[in-house]
C-alpha cells in the first residue's frame, strides 16, 4: 500500500529553540499521522503540516488530556480502517489467485484428456 497521510484537527504548536533563549516560534498548521502498510505491519509517524504545506517531522504534542484522547481515538479509528482495507485487498488477491489456480487446473485437465494417436 502507498504511504498515506491523514490530517487531524487544526492546531497551533509553540516550539522552543534548542539554545536557551527567550525566543519562541509559533507554528500554525495541522498534525498529521503518516501511515504506511509494510510487510511487518502498519507504520505510523507523526508529522506537522504547516501553512506553507511543508511537512515537518515532529512528535505529537497533546496540550491536555481531552485533546490527547480525541487524537488517540482518531488514530485508533484510522488504524482499524487501514487494517480492514488491507484485509479486503488480501481477500481480493487470494480470490484472484484461487481463480487463476482453478483455471490452470482446468486447462491442465483438458490437455491431459486429449486422445493420443
Smallest Cα–Cα separation from 11: which of 40, 50, 46, 42?
Answer: 50
Instruction: Give the pLDDT score at 77.
Output: 95
Bridge partners for 44 per DSSP: 35
Q: What is the rounded distance in angstroms from the CA atom of residue 37 to the CA atom of residue 3?
A: 7
pTM: 0.59
Q: What 3-state DSSP class applies to 16?
A: coil
DSSP one-letter string for 20-70: -SS--EEEEEEEEEEEEEETTEEEEEEEEEETTS-EEE-----SSHHHHHH
* Averages of pLDDT over each 10 residues, the chain, 117 residues: 48 49 73 88 90 89 91 93 92 92 82 58
Q: What is the rounded distance in angstroms from the CA atom of residue 113 to the CA atom of residue 116?
A: 9
Instruction: Give the pLDDT score at 5.
Output: 52
Instruction: Give the pLDDT score at 10.
Output: 43
Bridge partners for 84 per DSSP: none
Amino acid at each position: 500500500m502507498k504511504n498515506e497521510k491523514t490530517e487531524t484537527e487544526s492546531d497551533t504548536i509553540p516550539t522552543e529553540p534548542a539554545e536557551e533563549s527567550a525566543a519562541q516560534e509559533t507554528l500554525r498548521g495541522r498534525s498529521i499521522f503518516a501511515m504506511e502498510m509494510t510487510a511487518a505491519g502498519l507504520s505510523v509517524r507523526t508529522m506537522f503540516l504547516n501553512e506553507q504545506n511543508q511537512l515537518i517531522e515532529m512528535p505529537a504534542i497533546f496540550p491536555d488530556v481531552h485533546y490527547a484522547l480525541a487524537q488517540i481515538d482518531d488514530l485508533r479509528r484510522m488504524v482499524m480502517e487501514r487494517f480492514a482495507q488491507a484485509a479486503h485487498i488480501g481477500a481480493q488477491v487470494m480470490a484472484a489467485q484461487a481463480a487463476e489456480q482453478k483455471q490452470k487446473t482446468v486447462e491442465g485437465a483438458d490437455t491431459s484428456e486429449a486422445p493420443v494417436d
